[in-house]
Amino acid sequence: MRDFLVDLGVGVVLFLVNHIAGFKARLIKQLRLLRIALSEEKKETKLMIQVYGRFVSGKSSRYELQLANRQLRELMKTMGLGVLIVLPFSFLTLPILVRLGDRLGLPILPKAWRQQEMENQGEATRQP
């Protein structure tokens, strides 16, 4: 009986170590993807501000203004997610809201984050 309990304890420890190592690797990968997405948002936001500056002086085109307005909407989504993340139980509510938004055709995640997610899924399907 004692040997069984020792084997069970070793098995549990090995299981936890494997899952913690896997979690750490996934966390690092997700943080890198987040950094890339935020970097992209930063570039697009700088461009948006430049377009609005040209608009004030009357030097921007209608197309540039449409792109800047689209980026402003994406920025508002990002800010809204920041508020949701701070709330208690956000680790439960945020995934539910994202799935609900997808089902209703209302994208909750900003475009740069969705692009990273699609690229991430493409890599997962290519791996054996």
DSSP state of 87: S
Instruction: Inform me whether the pLDDT recorded for 127 exceeds 60.
Output: no
Range of the domain at 109: 2-126
CA 124 distance to own-chain centroid: 16
Total of domains in the chain: 1
- Which tens digit of pLDDT belongs to each residue from 22-79? 777 777 787 787 788 778 888 888 999 999 999 999 998 999 999 999 988 888 877 7
DSSP string, the chain: -HHHHHHHHHHHHHHHHHHHHHHHHHHHHHHHHHHHHHHHHHHHHHHHHHHHHHHHTT---HHHHHHHHHHHHHHHHHHHHHHHHHSTTHHHHHHHHHHHHHHHT---S-HHHHHHHHHHHHHHHH--
Confidence at residue 89, expressed as pLDDT on a 0 to 100 scale: 75
In this prediction, residue 102 carries a pLDDT of 85
Residue 120 neighbours by CB distance under 10 Å:
12
pLDDT in tens, 66-123: 999 998 888 887 777 777 777 777 777 778 888 888 888 877 777 766 666 666 666 6
pLDDT tens string 8-21 = 666 666 676 666 77
pTM of the model: 0.56
DSSP 58: T
